[in-house]
Amino acid sequence: MDLDELMKVRAEYDAEMRRDARPDAAEARVERVGGVVRQSVPGLGWNGVLWSDLDEGTADVAIAEQVAYFSGRAAGGESAEFEWKLYDYDGPADLGERLRAAGFVAEPAETLMVCRVADLAALPVAPPEGITLRVVKDEEGVDLMMEVHRQAFGTDRPRIRQQLLSMLSNEPDRIEAVLAMAGDTPVSAARMEMLPGGSFAGLWGGGTVAEWRGRGIYRLLVAHRARIAAERGIRYLQVDASDDSRPILERLGFDVLGVTVPYVWTPAA
C-alpha cells in the first residue's frame, strides 16, 4: 500500500478497533469516559484503555481517573491491573513518559501491521511434511493451545485460556483457533478474532515450539486464517507483531501502521 492508503487504513482501524471498539468477550463492557475508551471485564478478561484523545492539559487527569477506576475494582474482588495500549501516534507526544510517572510499566513494543485479505487468501501454502491442521472447538483443544504457548513463550496464559473458552462457548463465530499437529503432538497454535460486519480481523498467538521453527508453519497458519477471513468478507488482517514475527509478515505483504507499547499498571502489594 502507498502512504495515502496506509493513512486511510489506519484511520479506519482507529475508528473501528479503538474509538468505537466492541467488547472482546460476552461479559466485557466498553465505555467512553471523556477522552478515553476503556474495557473492563470480570474474572480473567482483558482490562485496559483502547483509545485516547488527550493533550498536555488533559492527559494527567485522564490517567489518574483510570487508575482510580480500576483500583476501585479491587473492593469488589476484581482485578485492578490494567493495560494502557499506547500507539506511537497518540497524543500528547510525552504520553508514555506520563504513564511511567504514574506507575505504569512498559512491556516490549510491538509493530502494528496490516494486510489486505485479498492479497493473502490465495497464498499457495502447503503444510510442511508431517504437519496437519486441527481447528479448535472445545476445551481439550484450548488446553493443547496453552501447552504450545507454554513451550513457545515460556509462560502460562490463564487469561487467554479463559477468553478462548468464553468465545467458543458464547460467540463461536468470532474466533478461528487452530493447531498445527505433528501426529498427535501440537507444535504450533494461533487464533483469529473477528467481529460480525467488521473490516478487520486480528491475528494472535502464532507460537511454535522451538524444534519446529523455520519450517513454514507460521506462514501456513497465517494463510489458513486469511482464507477464513476471505470467506467472512473481512477486508484486512491486523497483527501486533513481535520482532521475530515482523520479518515473516513483511515477506507476506504486511505493511506497518505504527508501533504500540502496552503500559501495565499493577496495584502495590
Residue 124 or 231, more confident: 231
What is the structure's pLDDT at 80?
Answer: 85
Query: What grid cell was written down for 208?
Result: 511454535
What does the DSSP 8-state code read for residue 4? H
* Per-residue confidence band for 180, with pLDDT thresholds at 50, 70 and 90: very high
pLDDT at position 269, please?
64
Domains of the chain: 3-111+261-265 (3.40.630), 115-257 (3.40.630.30)
- What's the average model confidence in pLDDT over 111-122? 92
State how far the Cα of 232 lies from the Cα of 74, in Å rounded to an integer. Answer: 40
CA 205 to chain centre: 8
pTM, whole model, 2 decimals? Answer: 0.91
- Reported as a single tens digit per residue, the pLDDT across 197-206 is 999 999 998 8
Q: What are phi and psi of 203, to 5 degrees?
A: -95, 130
Number of H-type helices and E-type strands within the chain: 8, 12
The residue with greater pLDDT, 180 or 268, is 180
Note whether 202 and 211 are within 8 A (CB): no
Neighbours of 92 (CB within 10 A): 16
Q: Give CA–CA dist 180/247, Å, rounded.
A: 21
Helix (H, G, I), strand (E, B) or coil at 145: helix
pLDDT of residue 44: 76
Give the count of beta carbons closer than 10 Å to the beta carbon of residue 98. Answer: 17
* Cβ contacts of 23 within 8 Å, gap of 6 or more: 29, 30, 39, 41
pLDDT band (50, 70, 90) for residue 163 = confident
CB 45 within 8 A of CB 27: yes
Residue 127 has pLDDT above 70, yes or no: yes
pLDDT for res 139: 96
Q: Residue 230 — pLDDT band, cuts 50, 70, 90?
A: very high
Is residue 222 within 8 A of residue 203, CB to CB? The reply is yes
Q: Are 255 and 1 in contact (CB under 8 A)?
A: yes
Looking at residue 264, its pLDDT comes to: 97
Instruction: Decide if pLDDT at 226 tops 90.
Output: yes
